[in-house]
Amino acid sequence: MGRSNKPTPLSPSTTGPQPSVHSEQGRVVARLPTGDSVEILLYGATVISWKSNGKENLWVSKAAKLDGSKPVRGGVPIVFPCFGPPPKNHATSSLPQHGFARSSHWEYLGSSSSESGSLARGGDDSIKLDFGLSHAQLSEDAKKQWPYAFGLVYSVTLGGKERTLQTMLRVSNQGKESWEFQMLLHSYFGVDDITRCQINGLGSSTYIDKVLDASQHTQSTPSIAITGEVDRVYTSIKQDTTSIVENGKPRLDIQRDRLVDSVVWNPWIEKAKGMSDFEPKDGYKNMVCVEVGAVDGWQRLEPGETWEGGQIVRSHL
Ligand SMILES: O=P(O)(O)OC[C@H]1O[C@@H](O)[C@H](O)[C@@H](O)[C@@H]1O
């Protein structure tokens, strides 16, 4: 006997063109009726393109490896379960810099789209893509280096009305012992000219300056100009949004969701020269990394516990 309260299948909206999703050759591409799009590589679940209004918001090196042989130099690589070189005498100490998430093959779990109707009628079409990674999917090396039962679900939502990209990471402990992790969404944002940009929203925060022997400082000015190599880890930030402003106009607003740390990174001339996958060599002029995360100390998860954090980025392109 059929259930009388059986849910009816979601019917496609009759208001016009619908968001589309296309998945092939290790990539998933989603497109909204506005033309805005997002492209994710299953390798690392790395967002490698996010277009608003026909223009690219992210920076990807021309020499980036997209064949799974190396983490992608650009886009939004996921840093997990350790940030930077792991400390000695920690459970992550055998892992490579920034952990294994950015160099693992993730599974595409599917998509869901909003039901709020077309943009023309005031709705906000959006499409969410989910990706998963668990211990069983890791390489044999990574399994040995970090032998914990974990589950990651990474949700990438492309929003039409506000021209947003939301990227959220859910971490769960599926094992019988507790473990610790750090995470960071290592976004490389594209700009026309870094010398005309300011980074706002970090005023009064304390940061570790990796360029100055990891010394601690307080951000005394409300805006940061990038005029040389920058590698700073801002912690316990009070403002929830960091903005990239170019030529005095807002370009991107990066809103943290349940995260209070952010790294600001630009390798500038010498460091860019030293990276074989960084091209063109003067590409540092066209990018800045603003990376939201939980990297100050460690997040501990007990068996059965789940943690979530991420960002909503709004493009003004
Ligand atoms: O070259 P990788 O491993 O992708 O790291 C790039 C940069 O990532 C940043 O998050 C770090 O703060 C930098 O110190 C590091 O150089």
User: pLDDT per residue over 207-223, tens digit each?
Assistant: 999 999 999 999 999 99
Query: What is the predicted pLDDT for the residue at 120?
Result: 53
Query: What is the predicted pLDDT for the residue at 123?
Result: 55
- Bridge partners for 251 per DSSP: none
For residue 127 the two structure tokens come to 């499409």
Write the single-letter amino acid at 287: M
Among candidate residues 115, 291, 302, 316, the one labeled active-site is 291
Query: What is the predicted pLDDT for the residue at 15?
Result: 58
Sorted by where each starts, the structural domains of the chain and their CATH numbers stand as 20-113+122-315 (2.70.98.10)
Chain-centroid distance, C-alpha 293: 9
Chain-centroid distance, C-alpha 272: 21
For residue 16 the two structure tokens come to 């016009």
- Residue of 46, 73, 97 to test ligand 1 pocket, by largest number of atoms within 8 Å of CB: 97
Share of the chain above pLDDT 90, in %: 89
Burial class (CB in 10 A: 0-12, 13-18, 19+), 177: exposed
Residues 161-204: tens digit of each pLDDT: 889 999 999 999 999 999 999 999 999 999 999 999 999 999 99
Q: Which residues of the chain have a pLDDT value below 70?
A: 1-15, 115-124
Query: What is the predicted pLDDT for the residue at 114?
Result: 78
- Residue of 102, 231, 275, 288 to test ligand 1 pocket, by largest number of atoms within 8 Å of CB: 231
Query: What is the predicted pLDDT for the residue at 169?
Result: 98
SS3 content of the chain, % helix, strand, coil (to 5): 10, 45, 45
Query: What pTM was estimated for this model as a whole?
Result: 0.94
Residues 105-125: tens digit of each pLDDT: 999 999 998 755 554 555 568
Helices (H), the chain: 140-145, 268-273
**Ligand 1 pocket, residues with Cβ under 6 angstroms:** 84, 97-98, 186, 210, 231, 263, 265, 291
Residue 271 CA: nearest ligand 1 atom is 16
Annotation says 115 is catalytic: no
How far is the C-alpha of 291 from the C-alpha of 263, rounded, in Å?
A: 5
DSSP 57-119: -B-B-TT---SSSS--SBSBPEEBS-SSSPPTTSTTTTSPTTBSGGGSBPEEEEEEE--S--G
How far is the C-alpha of 84 from the C-alpha of 77, rounded, in Å?
A: 13
**Across the beta sheet with 150-159, what order do the strands follow?**
107-113, 126-134, 150-159, 164-173, 306-315, 249-257, 241-246, 197-200, 223-225
Neighbours of 299 (CB within 10 A): 17
Q: What is the mean pLDDT of the chain?
A: 93
Annotation says 316 is catalytic: no
Protein residue with its CA nearest to atom 12 in ligand 1: 231
